[in-house]
Structure 1
Amino acid sequence: MRDSFIVGAGMIPMGRHRESSYPGLAVPAVLDALESAGLRRAEIGAVYCGHAFGGMLTGQRIVKEIGIGGIPVTNVDNACSGGATALHEAHRAVADGHHEVVLVIGVDKLTQFGGGTLPLVTEDWEVQQGMVMPALYAMRARRYLHERDASVEDLASVSVKARRHGVANPYAQFRAEVTVEQVLAARPIADPLTLLQCCPTGDGAAAVLVVSDAVRRRLGGPALRIAASVLHSGQVIGGFRDMLRPEITFESAREAYEQAGVSPRDIDVVELHDAFSIAELVYYEALGLCPVGESTGFLRSGATTYGGEVVVNPSGGLLAKGHPVGASGVAQVVEVFWHLTGTAGTRQVDGARLGLTHVTGGGISGLDHGACTVHIFEHVG
């Protein structure tokens, strides 16, 4: 397999764009990615578009607006992991020699549902019993408080950190700091989680361009080598499941580090799937950022913010940036691209060389998650 590289990235501010169509959301991100890469539309050999709720032919509806046609366009639905899965497929297309330039789009418009939790597949028996994602993560949080030396204040501190990081991100949906007291006093959603411990729904889009080494060298600009690209689906387990050991993320991360030939301690910046505050603490352990059982102390020590061991979610994460599902996996990559190329502005992680993105997708009875995608990126000159 050949190496593949990301050479351009674009994103729109996440938020409530009620009047925008899916093309209206995605086209500006695509044009920004093309401009940052210095590529022409005619050079794109294929398109992969990740989304969850865009309907039929979402990718084709987007690219026709900028005059792209005649090339393969593949739409990818993998719940919250849709955008990251689209990148995984684009990486394989370039690495296997099928294309020299591939456009990856992540997009979703959640304001179409008018608020509330996202619709899940009603044929699933847990959904029939009333399972929604806030309830699932609330159960994880309750188990965490039972098994770890942790308090509700620790859960709230995740949201405080996320909002603090989001202040410096012009693409974040929420850009105001909050206190632990404000987080705990917010409207209850699913005990012990409050509103400020749940990611906001909204609309958004992001895009990146994946190219071969030959194209990268011709362009001569900053680039990230895709050092690892891993996609796993969940394993069916009946009965008891350890809610603090998401095996799909443990295994995906292990394989990604092996592919990249690095260890968790080598990573400088991480964008992980913090759809709820408890998720960040659980994923510290699953991604190997700290030993199992030590995530509370890891957070308290300041290890996951600026000046610590690894900056986790400098964008503000899903808790501050927002979570337009199909866009989130690509938006994570855009954020890492900016940090590793030294173009993240006032939120820049100094000296960042290696970055990791992680996103899971979907809740299905019997599975930890439906999908998990982990990427590791290395800055190249």
Structure 2
Amino acid sequence: MKNVYIIGVDSLKFGKYKEHDHRELVKETFDNCLVDAGITANDIQSVHFANSLWGYYNRQDGIRGHIAMRHCGLEKVPITNLEAACASGTLALHSAWKDILTGLFDCSLAVGVDKLYMDDKHKMFDAFYFAVDIANKEEVFQEWNEAVKNVNVPIPEYNQGARSPFMDIYANIALSHMNQYGTTQEQLAMVAAKNHHNGSLNPKAQFQFDMSTEQVLEDRIVSYPLTRSMCAPMGDGAACAILCSEEFLEKLPDSVKERAVKIASSVYMSGRNRTLKERSTCAEAAELAYRMAGKIPEDIDVAEVHDASAIGEIIHYENLGFCPVGEGGKFMESGATQLHGKIPVNPSGGLISRGHPIAASGLGQIYELVTQLRGEAGVRQVNGAKVALAENGGGNVGLEEAAFTVTILER
């Protein structure tokens, strides 16, 4: 298989951009990415554009990428519009990677953008129904409730406010994991505290404040056992990556070659119908990614995983083979995933702290990992990082995500 390299990355600081539209966010990250790659817009031969909610918020459907990239000065190049909910950004990367593998193109752009924040909170949270089977949404949530009806975990009384419907799904996953494996709410809080600490070290993070495990536990309950600090915030953002072939890279200056990062493997897979006790499709995607890259879980030096809530990170420790199934909570408690632990996970602060503007999130992960592999992460640098893994999941069909991506990068 041909070698494909990432030569440029950028991520905006995720947050609230009420005065900026999607086109402006894309242009800023694209311009920054060109500078990072040391090339010009004329070198871009194809674009893969990820977005999920522009249509919901501004009625812009159909040609979103064409509108945004025209604003960036890109014309005539083929632009592919992509959607896979929260996995959209890394789907764009996967698609750009395939463009290079075919030999049809030598330089391709993957870009993701979304704006989630709205003053109308109910409309904002209702947007998340786009990522389930909307025609049968009542049945979707009933299936989740049925899956945990025999769970024997005490649930305190609390007042539920406006929230993303996905937090109810994550809460059910957490309750199931607690019931089956003895995972504790305190272990969930440890994930969130770790990621808030990492986010406090990241100038690109939406939240840049430290929190203790106790503070996380004392925060307002969103959907038990999840407190607000265990959940990713609402926000806006954009991120991108420029990929190229080995032949294209050879023509670039040494200063670019020295910072290039190879894509060792890229896997995109859809979910399936399963019970919560059955093996996740994500685990199968990870095994395929390891085989393609010629790696095993022990080879991974640093990882960014989809922690839209704290239980997501714990589940993915297991799916990615970092620890046995059922031991994710204990693995967190051991300190293995801390910034200077055995396998640092989410050094960026993860979705919980870095933020989660849907289609930009996956490329935000790639930005962090490329920065780590280049040794340019500053105070959050993982020592000796040479191999990195990004895992991202999107949407919900049945009792698991609708789409999965797993990407392994190597310096």
Please classify the TM superposition score into its range, dividing by the shorter chain length: over 0.9
> How far is 1:150 from its partner?
2.8
Amino acid across the alignment from 1:3: N
- Matched with 2:160 is none
C-alpha separation in 2, matches of 1:183 and 1:277:
11
Amino acid across the alignment from 2:407: H
- Tell me whether 1:41 sits opposite 2:41 in the alignment: yes
Alignment length (residue pairs): 374
Give per-residue Cα distances to partners, 1:108-161, cap 9 Å, x unaligned. 000147335343143134467577211111011111211223321111111000
- Tell me whether 1:82 sits opposite 2:116 in the alignment: no
How has the CA–CA distance of structure 1 residues 256 and 194 changed in structure 2, closer, same or farther, with 3 Å as cutoff? Answer: same
- Matched with 2:227 is 194
C-alpha separation in 1, matches of 2:238 and 2:327:
35
- Matched with 2:351 is 318
Residue 128 of structure 2 contacts residue 166 of structure 2 at CA under 8 Å; is this kept in 1?
Answer: no
The TM-score, its normalising length taken from structure 1, stands at 0.95
Match of 1:123 among 135, 158, 164: 135
| Helix, strand or coil at the partner of 2:117 | helix
Q: What pairs with 1:235-274 in structure 2 (closer than 5 Å)?
A: 235-237=272-274, 241-242=275-276, 247-274=280-307
- Tell me whether 1:153 sits opposite 2:183 in the alignment: no
How has the CA–CA distance of structure 1 residues 126 and 230 changed in structure 2, closer, same or farther, with 3 Å as cutoff? Answer: farther
Match of 1:99 among 105, 109, 116: 105
C-alpha separation in 2, matches of 1:120 and 1:156:
27
> How far is 1:246 from its partner?
5.5
Amino acid across the alignment from 1:66: C
- Matched with 1:374 is 406
Give per-residue Cα distances to partners, 1:314-361, cap 9 Å, x unaligned. 000000011000000111001101000111122111110000001000
> How far is 1:236 from its partner?
2.7
- Matched with 1:163 is 196
- Matched with 1:211 is 244
> How far is 1:227 from its partner?
0.6
C-alpha separation in 1, matches of 2:315 and 2:399:
17
Choose between structure 1 and 2: higher helix proportion: 2
| Helix, strand or coil at the partner of 1:171 | coil
- Matched with 1:176 is 209
| Helix, strand or coil at the partner of 1:206 | strand
Give per-residue Cα distances to partners, 1:81-109, cap 9 Å, x unaligned. 11110111100000110101001101100
C-alpha separation in 1, matches of 2:229 and 2:90:
25
- Tell me whether 1:71 sits opposite 2:102 in the alignment: no
| Helix, strand or coil at the partner of 1:291 | coil
Residue 11 of structure 1 contacts residue 28 of structure 1 at CA under 8 Å; is this kept in 2?
Answer: no
C-alpha separation in 2, matches of 1:166 and 1:157:
14
Give per-residue Cα distances to partners, 1:142-200, cap 9 Å, x unaligned. 11211223321111111000000001100101111112222122111111111111100
C-alpha separation in 2, matches of 1:321 and 1:246:
29
Match of 1:60 among 61, 66, 75: 66
The TM-score, its normalising length taken from structure 2, stands at 0.88
Runs of 4+ residues over 6 Å off in structure 1: none
- Matched with 2:336 is 303
Amino acid across the alignment from 1:377: L
Unaligned runs of 5+ in 2: 56-60, 145-164
How has the CA–CA distance of structure 1 residues 300 and 129 changed in structure 2, closer, same or farther, with 3 Å as cutoff? Answer: closer
| Helix, strand or coil at the partner of 1:312 | coil
C-alpha separation in 1, matches of 2:354 and 2:199:
7
Give per-residue Cα distances to partners, 1:31-73, cap 9 Å, x unaligned. 1111011111001100001111123222112211221100100
Q: Percent identity?
A: 36
